[in-house]
């Protein structure tokens, strides 16, 4: 894999830390601002919705910019948003800062996915996307547990200060290692690009992404209270268990990319079936500390094994027209799934059967995603030969 691809991985690491680290800080933030766990969880939904808005808008606005300039500008937005989080005087201000941070997320991964696939041969494209997304998985292994530990010992504001420093380092790495564009992108007609994305196969692919990933975040958003209130772990043990989740992310991400290069359609269905099975098992096994740790790792593997296949599927359906926009829309779809999962999980906690039932309800999402995928294949029969 070319060195420039690993520079994209560095940027993904910084963004991944900012996205995921808040999962381990819900209790501290809720206490500081005197809000419930479910309300604190809406900070995750707010971030996700910021990605949904920012991804297509910034992709269109920067369509004619050199891609390296776009990536550096997005990292600058990311740094500003995290610095604002450190200074947040209220829950509402923190929500606004999280949304600002999120604006950079979708376009970075959308443009980065297109750049990554252009750096490698055709038979390595899904693996290249997986390598870039490894930044997210490494962020979960290193950044989330360390950020949770910092937040528990020095306050959650110190965690966001550390994330700001990570953003500065990522900015420098991208500036040094990502080569300048050989030529400035000409840009296209965003209306025709949007028309290409509004085709049924692309829309169904995006819907599959939304539903599939909603199941992951329905549980992961509330993983800290699940481990403490259901599994019986102390708060100090949450960080080491998140290391297990992060290890699962790395394994699942790389396996998903490799399998997708061999048979994309089979990988999509296989990973969604596996994810649904793991979520059902969590509903049963969380009450046992040993099985809770194992299932947390399996959730990471099953959840992230879907990322590269789903991203590659939407790119293939765009068929070269508006691929940057399609890629950004799919990143937005992942985060819309995040927001949906976090919101549904909060409803189950506050108005439904309670925290213990969140995994079971979340399992319905990948089942729905498989249904949509079947419809997508039936709608576009060429999938059987082109995927």
Q: Residue 213 — pLDDT band, cuts 50, 70, 90?
A: confident
pLDDT at 6: 81
Lowest mean pLDDT, pick from 108-117, 164-173, 258-267: 108-117
Task: Indicate if the pLDDT at residue 321 is higher than 60.
Answer: no
Q: Is the pLDDT of residue 331 over 80?
A: no
Q: Is the pLDDT score of 347 beyond 60?
A: yes
Q: What is the pLDDT of residues 54-99, one digit of tens each?
A: 877 887 788 778 878 888 899 899 999 999 999 999 999 999 999 9
pLDDT at 236 over 80: no
pLDDT 10s digits, 87-106: 999 999 999 999 999 888 87
User: Does 384 have pLDDT greater than 50?
Assistant: no
Averaged pLDDT for residues 220-235: 86
Q: Which long-range contacts (CB under 8 A, 24 or more apart) does 112-119 make?
A: 112/8, 112/11, 112/12, 112/71, 113/311, 113/315, 113/327, 113/331, 114/315, 114/323, 114/324, 114/327, 115/4, 115/8, 115/67, 116/5, 116/8, 117/315, 119/1, 119/2, 119/4, 119/5
CATH number at residue 265: 1.20.1250.20
Q: How large is the average pLDDT for residues 136-161?
A: 82
Domain of 223 in residue numbering reads as 3-386
Q: What is the mean pLDDT of residues 2-31?
A: 82
Average pLDDT of the chain is: 82
Number of domains the chain is built from: 1
Is the model's pLDDT at 383 over the cut of 50? no
Output the pLDDT for position 153. 86
pLDDT band at 113 (very low <50, low <70, confident <90, very high): confident
pTM of the model: 0.72
Question: Is the confidence at residue 222, as pLDDT, over 80?
Answer: yes
């Amino acid at each position: 894999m070319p060195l420039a691809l690993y520079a994209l991985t560095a940027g993904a690491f910084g963004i991944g830390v900012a996205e995921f680290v808040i999962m381990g800080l819900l209790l501290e933030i809720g206490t500081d601002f005197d809000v419930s766990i479910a309300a604190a969880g809406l900070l995750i939904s707010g971030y996700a919705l910021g990605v949904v808005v920012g991804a297509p808008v910034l992709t269109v606005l920067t369509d004619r910019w050199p891609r390296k300039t776009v990536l550096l500008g997005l990292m600058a937005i990311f740094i500003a948003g995290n610095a604002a989080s450190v200074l947040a005087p209220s829950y509402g201000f923190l929500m606004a800062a999280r949304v600002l941070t999120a604006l950079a997320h979708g376009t970075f991964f959308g443009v980065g996915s297109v750049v990554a696939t252009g750096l490698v041969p055709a038979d390595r494209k899904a693996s290249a996307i997986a390598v870039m997304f490894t930044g997210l998985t490494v962020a979960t292994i290193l950044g989330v547990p360390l950020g949770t530990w910092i937040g528990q010992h020095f306050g959650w504001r110190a965690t966001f200060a550390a994330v700001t420093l990570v953003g500065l380092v990522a900015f420098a790495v991208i500036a040094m290692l990502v080569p300048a564009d050989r030529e400035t992108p000409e840009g296209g007609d965003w209306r025709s690009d949007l028309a290409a994305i509004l085709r049924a196969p692309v829309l169904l692919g995006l819907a599959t992404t939304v539903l599939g990933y909603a199941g992951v975040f329905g549980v992961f958003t509330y993983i800290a209270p699940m481990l403490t209130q259901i599994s019986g772990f102390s708060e100090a043990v949450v960080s080491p268990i998140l290391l297990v989740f992060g290890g699962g992310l790395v394994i699942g991400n790389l396996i998903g990319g490799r399998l997708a290069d061999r048979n994309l359609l089979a990988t999509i269905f296989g990973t969604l079936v596996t994810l649904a099975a793991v979520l059902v098992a969590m509903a049963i096994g969380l009450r046992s500390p040993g099985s809770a740790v194992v299932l947390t790792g399996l959730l990471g593997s099953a959840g992230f094994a879907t990322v590269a296949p789903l991203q590659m599927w939407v790119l293939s359906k765009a068929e070269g027209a508006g691929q940057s926009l399609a890629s950004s829309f799919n990143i937005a779809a992942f985060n819309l799934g995040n927001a949906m999962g976090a919101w549904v999980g909060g409803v189950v906690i506050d108005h439904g059967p309670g925290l213990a039932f969140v995994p079971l309800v979340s399992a319905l999402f990948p089942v729905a995603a498989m249904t949509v995928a079947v419809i997508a294949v039936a709608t576009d029969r060429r999938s059987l030969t082109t995927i």
